[in-house]
Amino acid sequence: MEANNKSSKTHKAKQPPILFEKSQAIIKELNKRLGGTLVTYFNNPRGSVCHDDVLALFELLEKIGHQEKIYLFIKSSGGNGQASLRIVNLLRQYCREVIAVIPLECASAATMIALGANEIHMGPMAYLTPVDTSLTHALSPIDRDNDRVSVSLDELTRVVRLWQSQRSDQNENPYQQLFQYVHPLVIGAVDRAESLSIMLCRELLAYHITEESKQSEIANALNAKYPSHGYPILFEEAKRIGLAVSHLTPEINSLLLELNELYSEMGQRATTDFDDTHAHGNEILNIWESTNVLVYYQQDKDWFYRTEERRWISLNDNSSWRRMIKEGNKVQKSILHIA
């Protein structure tokens, strides 16, 4: 570790920019144009919907108080579906109506959050995705970097179906071969998770759709209709499956894209390489923001490359949720302790 200490003295670790003043100016303009309160939720490509988001959102909602209507900006590639249900449930306790405003990607668990909104307003580049279940289990296969990989029930089902359609011996059992690569407990866990996914979708839709048959129709379509987990569900398709969608106005969409650009700059990688095996990573993964308040998760840790295992391990982890609150002309910064 001596090389790391010496390098740290000559290399100052990079920091991601915090563009609070600029984002607040756009949020103020959006509040005026929307005629309601905007709450923003952004994940960078390595961030995800998680249970900690619920506590971060609570901190933000306590600051802005109860609202008649909340417009929820969502930009995320997904994460934990159960966290999505908790996020929507919390939002509903602070407002009577939720409107999702989506200029870009709103995938997987983020689509689940959108399902809990009374209306979904989509820009010309916006898309939702299916919510078919995949999970990373403690017994999942590992990739070339020795990390556990996500396993999808749809992928497993398709492998078995392809095997059965092409096998020459009818007595062959595809699972005997599949178990060599995917542990049977993983297959069982993924199968169980699919039932959970459908249930979560129905629960979220129940916040604004009373007909159980329509809840089931939409939930089943999002879980089983599409051939790929990343299949982009565009405006017309979202309308066909029964979602209450409408178009964002060009002015609102343009402002949301400006906001997304600021968040993308905040969420860029800020990696400082000290040598071939030592580095420091600073990166903002998740962002929640509304009027006069910003709550974000910053990853802040050293990395060491363990050659014999061919993987990076983290050291000196100072990652945390952080908040900025504007009162008058002063901005207070603090750590938000979430365990």
Cα–Cα distance measured from residue 58 to residue 39, given in angstroms and rounded to the nearest whole number = 12
What is the token pair recorded at 56? 């971060």
Beta strands in 291-319 (DSSP E): 293-306, 311-315
Question: What is the CATH code of the structural domain delimited by 2-130+226-336?
Answer: 3.90.226
Output the CA–CA distances (angstroms, integers) from residue 20 to 95, 125, 204, 318, 332, in the order listed. Answer: 25, 25, 32, 22, 12
Half-sphere exposure of 320 (CA within 13 A, CB side): 10
Q: What is the pLDDT of residue 70?
A: 97
Mean pLDDT of 257-274: 90
Asked if pLDDT for residue 156 goes beyond 80, the answer is no
Contact 243/14 with Cβ under 8 angstroms? Answer: no
Cα–Cα distance measured from residue 142 to residue 147, given in angstroms and rounded to the nearest whole number = 5
48-81 pLDDT, tens per residue? 999 999 999 999 999 999 999 999 999 999 888 8
Asked if pLDDT for residue 286 goes beyond 80, the answer is yes
Cα–Cα distance measured from residue 50 to residue 48, given in angstroms and rounded to the nearest whole number = 6
Name the CA dihedral angle for 103, 107, 109, 110, rounded to a multiple of 10 degrees.
Answer: 0
Mean pLDDT of 153-181: 71
Asked if pLDDT for residue 219 goes beyond 80, the answer is yes
- Tell the burial category of 119 from Cβ atoms under 10 Å away from its Cβ (0-12, 13-18, 19+): middle
Contact 247/121 with Cβ under 8 angstroms? Answer: yes
Measuring CA to CA, which residue among 189, 175, 207, 185 is closest to residue 93? 207
What is the token pair recorded at 337? 């302790």
20-42 pLDDT, tens per residue? 999 999 999 999 999 999 999 99
Q: Where are the domains of the chain?
A: 2-130+226-336, 134-190
Measuring CA to CA, which residue among 219, 211, 209 is closest to residue 241? 219
What is the token pair recorded at 40? 């923003």
What angle (nearest 5°) sits at the alpha carbon of residue 21, between those of residues 16 and 27? 110
Asked if pLDDT for residue 151 goes beyond 90, the answer is no
Band the pLDDT of 227: cuts 50, 70, 90: confident
Q: What is the pLDDT of residue 192?
A: 65
Cα–Cα distance measured from residue 148 to residue 159, given in angstroms and rounded to the nearest whole number = 20
Question: Which helix or strand (DSSP H or E) is residue 40 part of?
Answer: strand 37-43
Residue type, position 180, single letter: Q
Output the CA–CA distances (angstroms, integers) from residue 279 to 112, 146, 173, 301, 313, in the order listed. Answer: 36, 19, 48, 9, 10
Question: Which helix or strand (DSSP H or E) is residue 74 part of?
Answer: strand 67-75
Residue type, position 185, single letter: L
The mean of the pLDDT values for the chain is 86
- Tell the burial category of 234 from Cβ atoms under 10 Å away from its Cβ (0-12, 13-18, 19+): middle
Half-sphere exposure of 5 (CA within 13 A, CB side): 2
What is the token pair recorded at 213? 């048959």
